Amino acid sequence: MATLKDYRMDIKPNWCPGCGDFSVLAAIQKVAVNLNIEAEDMAFISGIGCSGRISGYVNAYTMHTMHGRALATAQGVKLANPDLHVICAGGDGDGFGIGLNHFAHAARRNVDLTYIVMDNQIYGLTKGQMSPTSPQGMETKSSPGGNPEQPINPLQMALASGSSFIAQAFSGDVKQLMSLIEQGMQHKGFAFINVFSPCVTFNKVLTYEYFKKNLVNLDEKEGYDPSNRAMAFNMVEETGSMFTGLLYKQERKTLTESLPKGSGTNMLTRDTFILDDIMKEKLISRYV
């Protein structure tokens, strides 16, 4: 039986008091326990940013990688050992700025892992520059005259890329956050959860209050069908992305299931190996 203690570390996160990322950390740990995943069976891969530090606060096999490359790394982990529960996490800059390409391709590839973005619409760790999700017009250290660019839309991006599970949560509502992470982890395939996780230090616009006031709960919305791509696309348009809940879910083959027969059956993660004579002859047959 996994317990919360297993997942906890003796390290105090170096986040600012009140940072939204605390909730995400707690939620992940609790869900892992709820799902009874042993710490050693979890691989937690994160990017670079305030949010990216999260993997260092969880006792599991954790890796803090490069800015924008967490998903690339996490796919490698999962492919090498499908028995691991792989969580990948990072910030909005990490995932939708420098790392957007891997996001789109991981989504279409449908590797079975859970990708959580702590979207604070700002670059936290580098102290307050605009991020690809900063609203147009927002003043930041790198947009003193207001952000001149229209922000990226992570949810429509995910939809267009073929992500098979898309949800959005809010650090201020830990219950729903936990529920969505749990669903994501149980989903077979690429599960993407965008979490509004306020940066209390550098984002004075998209605050807890702002989200509390503006978010619509999709999970409680009647008639909404999360298996309908068109409906999902429109819902994002209509709400201006200001919702929480499960946006879209589809069952389709994971990459591992689509690979040629035999693939992944002998990954030698822990064994040693020597080629036997039959396999050897097969290997060299084209060259003799």
Partner 1 sequence: MEELTIVIGGEQGEGIESVGEILTKVLSQKGFNLYGFRNFSSRIKGGHSDFNLRVSSGREIYVNAERANLLIAFDQATIDLYKDQMAANSIILYDSKSVNPNNFADLPEDALIIEAPFQQLALECGNSIMKNMVAIGMICGLNQHSPMEFKDVIKDRFSKKGIKIVEMNIEAFEKGHDFVKEKGLYSIPLVPVTDSRKMFLSGNEAMVIGAVAAGCRFMAGYPITPASEILENLIKIMPEYGGIVVQAEDELCSVAMAIGASFAGTRAMTATSGPGVSLMQEAVGLSGAVEIPLVIIDTQRGGPSSGLATKMEQSDLTAMLGGTHGEIPRIIISPSTIQEAMYDMGTAFNLAEQYQCPVFIAADLVLATSKQSTEILDTRKFEMDRGKRVTDEDLLLQEAKVFDRFAFTEDYISPRTIPGQKYGTHHATGIEHGETGHPTEDPINRKKMMIKRMEKINSVTIGEDIKVEGVAEDILIIGFGSTYGAIKEACEQFQASGIKAGLAHLRLLHPFPAKQLERLVSMARQVIVVENNYSGQLANVIKQHVQDHAKIQKLTKFDGTLFKPSDILTFSKELV
What residues numbered 35-74 form the site for ligand TPP, per CB under 6 A? 48-51, 67
Residue 87 makes contact with partner 1 by CB under 8 A:
no
Read off the tokens for 112.
């079975």
Burial call 189-228: b when 16+ CB within 10 Å, e when fewer = bbbbbbbbbbbbbbbeebeeeebeeebeebeeeeebebee
Phi, psi of 237 (to 5 degrees): -60, -50
Residue selected from 33, 66, 231, 242 as contacting partner 1 according to rule CB under 8 A: 66
Q: How far is the CB of 185 from ligand TPP (least distance, A)?
A: 21
Residue 273 makes contact with partner 1 by CB under 8 A:
yes
Q: Name which of 162, 161, 140 is nearest 151 in CA terms.
A: 140
- Partner from a copy of itself, ligand SF4, Mg ion, none binding residue 162, C-beta < 5-8 Å depending on class: a copy of itself
What residues numbered 215-274 form the site for a copy of itself, per CB under 8 A? 229-230, 233-234, 237, 252, 255, 258-260
Number of continuous H segments (helices) and E segments (strands) in the chain: 11, 8
Which residue, 4 or 267, is less far from partner 1 as judged by CB?
Answer: 267
- Partner from ligand SF4, Mg ion, ligand TPP, none binding residue 94, C-beta < 5-8 Å depending on class: ligand TPP
How many whole angstroms from its chain centre is CA 13? 19
Residue 64 makes contact with partner 1 by CB under 8 A:
yes
Residue 147 makes contact with ligand TPP by CB under 6 A:
no
Residues with Cβ within 8 Å of 235's Cβ and at least 6 positions away in sequence, in order, are 218, 224, 243, 247
Residue 211 makes contact with ligand SF4 by CB under 6 A:
no
| Cβ atoms of 73 and 26 closer than 8 Å | no
Q: What angle do CA 223, 158, 80 make, to 5 degrees?
A: 120
Which residue, 127 or 280, is less far from ligand SF4 as judged by CB?
Answer: 127
Q: Which residues pair with 52 in a beta bridge?
A: none
Return residues touching ligand SF4 (CB under 6 A): 15-16, 19, 21, 50, 120, 124, 199-202
Return residues touching a copy of itself (CB under 8 A): 97-101, 104-105, 108-110, 132, 136, 144-146, 148-153, 156-157, 159-162, 229-230, 233-234, 237, 252, 255, 258-260
